[in-house]
Structure 1
Amino acid sequence: MSIDVLKGIGMPNDRLRDALLRHGLTPERVACELGVSTKTVDRWIRNETMPYPKHRFELAALLKESEQFIWPDALSPERAAEVAASEVVTVYPHRHEVPRDLWLKLFDGVENQLDILVYAGMFLTDDTALLKKLKRKGQNGAKIRLLLGNPEGDTVRQRTAEERIGEGAIAAKIRNVLAFFEPVTGEAGIEFRLHDTTLYNSIFRFDDQMLINMHVHGRMAPQSPAMHLRRLFEGSLFELYSESFDSIWESSEPYPSTH
């Protein structure tokens, strides 16, 4: 019966069900861990009842997911706003004001997941040790996903025109960045893709922390604001940007092309 609960079709709380499956957890195992009945866990999966806050916290910790991701409606709007504010570590008026030491600390601290979504990200090539770091982290099991703009895409041309920096300027930057990363293309744990999506933000995820570079019409990315986020179990802001990255990743083309 418990396997049917996990693998059934049309279960209301798909996020909880899928998280349990990813971690190989049955309702019986969860019930034992949390000190509740298997029927109670089954009702959570079917979304017939909402776990108490204590159990939501324990289950989110067990699944390594945020409460807000698994139970989007669990928090009141007021509480959700409070938690979102707590996720914001600081806001910088311009990305170029983010301390270099912070960038280095975040890159060095990655153990499990590094996601980068940009048009070009030319400033990344300033770190001469970055390639060795990425290769080592990928070999140690980290999942590294880098999303750059398609230099032949319409959105790159549009962004170039909006910034008024000369025809083909951003496309040329992207090609330079791709050449910089060429030595680690195809290395274990490292994936590259090209997107043709209008970016409202550049996203840099370092495990449970993020730097979000907001895009401002007519301004280059270094001149636009940046926000430092830290993931909280009850939070929704970190998850919002994570889902945005995943959505663009799924619709992007592998690089080098598999065709």
Structure 2
Amino acid sequence: MSNERLRSALLAQGVTVQELADSIEVNPKTVERWITQGKVPYRRHQYATAAKLNVDVTTLWDDSRAVATSADLSKAEIVTIYPHRHMVPNTLWREIYERAASRVDVLVYSGLWLSEDPLFHDLLKRKAEGATQVRILLGDPDCEAVRQRGIDEGHRIMDGKIRNALVNYRPLFTSHPDIGFRLHDGTLYNSLFRSDDEMLVNTHVYGIGAYMAPVLHLRRLPGGGLFDTYANSIEQTWGSARPVSDHDVTGA
């Protein structure tokens, strides 16, 4: 039985059989047998193939060994877990972003505490002046999801916190226009802070502020899947978000 999922993944990524074989150091005829005969490769080749095609290994093969190992890899992506955000070392946020070479992403409702940090502003400037892509996603202060999140946290001022954050960031709008600022209207189940293949995931828990909720420190591993699940959420939210207007900042 042929492996049409592998064939489709190759086509979707524009990768030829020869290119895949060269990348993972196997004979092209071996790759052909994986596709046309449904042969299941060694696990190391499964993960190398999945990494090359930017998909989860279980998308390509149903091998139970792969499923078990993928789960183990996902666990290995967890560097540590903090029971509350306020227990995360103050320096860790900036240290993670300092290591960024290609991307800095922030996906939050307000992230007011981060917008108030002048050292974080300086970091964003340095990254934007280099080759790093910087994207800041805040909640749309006028949307229903923001109103509801404020209620869930026990207050009704989330829109005001977002506008305060926008005021804090406003100098960057003109001084560093390459920094991307957008507003989303989605319901967030986590606040996400990504730096290349490293991420802090601040979970959201009903009835308490995000500073009291757990934080996962993740580091991406090929074939793991956990990191990529959160990373894909950032991409989808960015794609549907809108630019910031003067009204969003002032409320007028």
Q: TM-score normalised by the shorter chain: which range applies?
A: 0.7 to 0.9
Given that residues 210 and 230 in structure 1 are in contact (C-alpha distance below 8 angstroms), is that contact kept between their aligned partners in structure 2? yes
- Closer, same or farther: CA 47–104 of 1 in aligned 2, 3 Å: farther
RMSD: 2.9
The runs of 5 or more residues in structure 2 that have no matched partner are 247-252
Given that residues 115 and 121 in structure 2 are in contact (C-alpha distance below 8 angstroms), is that contact kept between their aligned partners in structure 1? no
Given that residues 141 and 189 in structure 1 are in contact (C-alpha distance below 8 angstroms), is that contact kept between their aligned partners in structure 2? no
Structure 1: distance between partners of 2:187 and 2:126? 32
Structure 1: distance between partners of 2:30 and 2:67? 26
- Closer, same or farther: CA 46–105 of 1 in aligned 2, 3 Å: farther
Given that residues 43 and 49 in structure 1 are in contact (C-alpha distance below 8 angstroms), is that contact kept between their aligned partners in structure 2? yes
Given that residues 12 and 47 in structure 1 are in contact (C-alpha distance below 8 angstroms), is that contact kept between their aligned partners in structure 2? no
1:115 corresponds to which of 98, 105, 110: 105
Q: Hey, what does 1:194 align to over in structure 2?
A: 183
| Corresponding position: 1:223 with 2:212 | yes
Q: Hey, what does 2:249 align to over in structure 1?
A: none
Given that residues 149 and 156 in structure 1 are in contact (C-alpha distance below 8 angstroms), is that contact kept between their aligned partners in structure 2? yes
Cα offset, 1:88, TM superposition: 1.1
Q: Hey, what does 1:214 align to over in structure 2?
A: 203
- Closer, same or farther: CA 204–15 of 1 in aligned 2, 3 Å: farther
Specify the code of the residue in structure 2 equivalent to 1:208: D
- Closer, same or farther: CA 146–189 of 1 in aligned 2, 3 Å: same
Structure 2: distance between partners of 1:154 and 1:68? 37
- Closer, same or farther: CA 191–95 of 1 in aligned 2, 3 Å: same
2:109 alignment partner, SS class? coil
Q: How many residues align?
A: 240
Given that residues 50 and 57 in structure 2 are in contact (C-alpha distance below 8 angstroms), is that contact kept between their aligned partners in structure 1? no
2:147 alignment partner, SS class? helix
Given that residues 94 and 120 in structure 2 are in contact (C-alpha distance below 8 angstroms), is that contact kept between their aligned partners in structure 1? no
Identity of aligned residues (%): 38
Cα offset, 1:66, TM superposition: 6.5
Give TM-score scaled by structure 2 length.
Answer: 0.81
1:129 alignment partner, SS class? helix
Structure 2: distance between partners of 1:70 and 1:16? 12
TM alignment of 1:1-20, pairs within 5 A: 12-13=5-6, 14-19=8-13
- Closer, same or farther: CA 34–215 of 1 in aligned 2, 3 Å: closer
The runs of 5 or more residues in structure 1 that have no matched partner are 1-10
Q: Hey, what does 2:135 align to over in structure 1?
A: 145
Structure 2: distance between partners of 1:141 and 1:64? 25
Structure 2: distance between partners of 1:111 and 1:81? 28
Given that residues 150 and 158 in structure 2 are in contact (C-alpha distance below 8 angstroms), is that contact kept between their aligned partners in structure 1? yes
Cα offset, 1:34, TM superposition: 3.8
2:182 alignment partner, SS class? strand
Q: Hey, what does 2:147 align to over in structure 1?
A: 157
- 1:225-255 per-residue CA deviation (whole Å, 9 max, x = no partner) reads 1111111112011111111222222222233
Cα offset, 1:44, TM superposition: 6.3
- 1:169-208 per-residue CA deviation (whole Å, 9 max, x = no partner) reads 1111111111222232363642121111111111111111
Specify the code of the residue in structure 2 equivalent to 1:176: N
Specify the code of the residue in structure 1 equivalent to 2:138: L
Cα offset, 1:94, TM superposition: 0.7
- Closer, same or farther: CA 57–48 of 1 in aligned 2, 3 Å: same
- Closer, same or farther: CA 38–150 of 1 in aligned 2, 3 Å: same
Specify the code of the residue in structure 2 equivalent to 1:94: H
| Corresponding position: 1:252 with 2:252 | no
Moved more, 64-73 or 28-37: 64-73
- Closer, same or farther: CA 185–231 of 1 in aligned 2, 3 Å: same
